[in-house]
Amino acid sequence: MTPIQSLTQLKSSSKSKDVEKVISALVEGAVRELELSPKPGLVDVFDHGSHPDLSYNIMVRSIGLLELYFAEMAGALRVGTDVSELRKIAIRAEERMMRECGSNTHRGYIFLGGILLISALCFDNLREGIKETSAMFLETVPTATKGSGARAQYKVKGIIGECLLGLPAVFDEAIPAYTTTRASGEGHSTSAYYAMGMLMQIVEDTTALHRCGEAGLNKLKRDGLKIEECVMSGGDVQKLLRGLNKEFVEMNLTMGGVADLIAVTFAVCRIGQEF
């Protein structure tokens, strides 16, 4: 079965309740990422981090738009569609987000969430589905974006490389970090921070590169290790994160790629529980 054939067979192969569960998981992933507080350089319940153009309320509004986007994608899959039409749906979602939120808020998650939705609904194996769906979507890669500029300048593959490999940072690092820490008796937040620390150490975050160059990416790696060690030693993670957030804001450093993958981690964990 070719990927395109898989996309046109959602109507007969996926139940409506499964569609609803996947959409719910994807939205919940974005909510949990936003609610995880504090986070270095990112918007959370305490402040806007290194994003003066954003706020918690704007991010909540943006998440509300995600459900509409995911439902539109699922509807297109249900009647049978092709990649060009799915791209148009994603572009419309980005335009709607910019129009109603005034910023690119969840642009990365629109891409990742769309890939994940298609993979969960149209493929038997989620990781293989991510690889195949990513290959289709990335056959034509936009070249006039901040991410593409950072990838070219610093010779990194960024989220594109991650997707084409089936999101190994999520499946091989973040999810095991989160689930094993939860299994050891830690709560959601501590386990999520442990997963975030692991992602910070390995993700080629193009938003960090765009803002602060290699120095920014190197700081992400160092601070991710600090978070990992703090969780492992039973230290005061909240205190550490508050201090790191101040440092990130002073540098104008952020980590949008890590944030998107944290949300994906939560979403995949939820999907795994439901399917």
Q: What is the tens place of the pLDDT at every residue in 63-115?
A: 999 999 999 999 999 888 888 899 999 999 999 999 999 998 999 999 999 99
How far, CA to CA in Å, does 164 sit from each of 1, 26, 76, 89, 225?
A: 19, 20, 23, 21, 26
Residue whose C-alpha is closest to residue 210's, from 256, 166, 260, 249: 256
pLDDT score for 180:
97
* pLDDT of 38 strictly over 50: yes
Identity of the residue numbered 172: D
State the chain's maximal CA–CA distance in angstroms: 53
pTM of the predicted protein model: 0.91
**Total domains, the chain:** 1
**Domain housing 129:** 3-274
Top-confidence residue, 153 or 151: 153
Q: What is the tens place of the pLDDT at every residue in 173-188?
A: 999 999 999 999 999 9
Peptide bond into 38 cis (omega under 30): yes
* pLDDT of 145 strictly over 90: no
